[in-house]
Amino acid sequence: MTLLDRFVDTRPLRVSPAFRRLWIGSAAAGLSGQLAATAVLHQVWELTRSTWWTGAIGLATAVPTVLGGLVGGTLADTTDRRRLVLVTSAVAAVAAAGLAAQAGLEAAPVALVLALVTAQTAATALGAAARRTFTARLLPTGLVPAGVALHHVGFQIALLAGPALAGVLLATGGLRAAYVADVVGIAVSSYGVLRLPEVRPHPAPGTGPGPAPGRGTSARLRATGQGWRYLLSRPELRGCLAADLAATGLAMPVALFPAVNDERFGGSGFTFGLFASAIAVGGLLAGSASGTIVRAPGAGRLVLAASATWGAALVAFALVDSLPATLACLAVAGAADTVAVICRGTIVQVTTPDAYLGRVSAAENVVGVAGPGLGNARAGAVAGATSAATSTLTGGLACVVVVALIAATTPALRRWRQPPATGAPAT
């Protein structure tokens, strides 16, 4: 292990060319997705000037993530995962192209924008669980946590660069340029998957070639039920997902950024771009220590501590009013989020057998994507009835309280330790 690897463990990129291509593609898709998300938030705000509608973006992502994620998790454990990702990526690219097309309209209906966002999110959710299983199949067990961390570092880079690049594209090429970039990013991400061989799930011990024989609806419903029973039977899994849902579902501030920016800083486009970038800066700072994070024995305790820190940072965000303090609070929240995501991903990937990994990864993706969507919807609705500051304050406090309850009632998560690193990657 090099000195660099002690901070950001890059060994997975050197050991596995397939993982390296997958990581580059995922980072490209993450960057283009942030461009598109910023463009959607900007477009909806400009069309409506309403926190209710910016909060509705959260519903447009949360609902298809839940439904698509549940179906996609079962498909990931019953079919060729590579093909599933390629097909769903193609559909997502078509929806992204639709967003680019509507950007040329004089005044696009906000319902059309949200419908296209819903379609793209549904397609992405269907393939997300299958995509998440590739890391454990491409890397030796001992490098899986480092692979999870690298994916999140790539996401944080995208979160930092995406809003800034979106601002440049919106100023120079308009909405269409940002949406076209999303199509390109999806195409790049598909290339890394295209080079993989067929990736079918391993059977559960003592079973046949899949978790539930047959391809009918009833068989897939049984398979979905099996996956949820397994997840709920493991307190460390349900505990870390519950902690993440408490953080994002109760204390997600992104839908409030335009309103907070208007209230505190006069609606400056410069400060608006800094909000999301501040979260990413904090995430990258924490990600730069990912080599240390993945070697920490108590990942369960870190999930709980980081989730509570996220809530506390957003309580502070609601109470401050200067720009440096506002950005500092968001940076602390971003750092806490990175620690929580890396540790949660490690627990899920290391604990879950391959036969159930698609369905458990689907649940993780539902929480990781639908949670923020629901959180943004909650934030927008509460802000519409009260104020942006009240919405952020109550959400952050609720997050801290719920995470404390999870910590008190889930000793298996507090005690979770990563097992010794053994074995080669499954093929």
CATH code for the domain in which residue 124 is found? 1.20.1250.20
Give the pair of three-digit tokens for residue 75: 């498909």
Report the pLDDT value the prediction gives residue 324, as an integer from 0 to 100: 94
Judge whether 355 lies within some domain: yes
Distance CA 327, CA 282 (A): 10
When divided into structural domains, the chain yields a total of 1
Distance CA 379, CA 390 (A): 9
Q: Largest Cα–Cα distance of the chain, in whole Å?
A: 64
Report the pLDDT value the prediction gives residue 426, as an integer from 0 to 100: 43
Collapse the DSSP code of 109 into the 3-class scheme (helix H, G, I; strand E, B; otherwise coil) and give the result: coil
Instruction: Name the one residue in this structure whose structure tokens are 């899986």.
Output: 144
Pair 86, 193: CB distance under 8 Å: yes
Judge whether 330 lies within some domain: yes
Report the pLDDT value the prediction gives residue 183, as an integer from 0 to 100: 95
Judge whether 264 lies within some domain: yes
Q: Write the pLDDT tens digit of every residue in 180-202.
A: 999 999 999 999 899 887 788 77
Q: Domain range spanning residue 184?
A: 12-202+226-414
Judge whether 85 lies within some domain: yes
DSSP state of 167: H
DSSP state of 255: G
Report the pLDDT value the prediction gives residue 272, as an integer from 0 to 100: 76
Of the candidates 252, 241, 181, the one whose C-alpha atom is nearest the C-alpha of residue 30 is 181
Amino acid identity at 51? T
Distance CA 372, CA 152 (A): 16
Judge whether 276 lies within some domain: yes
Report the pLDDT value the prediction gives residue 159, as an integer from 0 to 100: 76
pTM value is: 0.71
Residues of the chain with pLDDT under 70: 1-6, 203-221, 269, 419-427
Judge whether 105 lies within some domain: yes
Distance CA 169, CA 261 (A): 20
Judge whether 308 lies within some domain: yes
Report the pLDDT value the prediction gives residue 185, as an integer from 0 to 100: 94
Report the pLDDT value the prediction gives residue 392, as an integer from 0 to 100: 93
Judge whether 217 lies within some domain: no
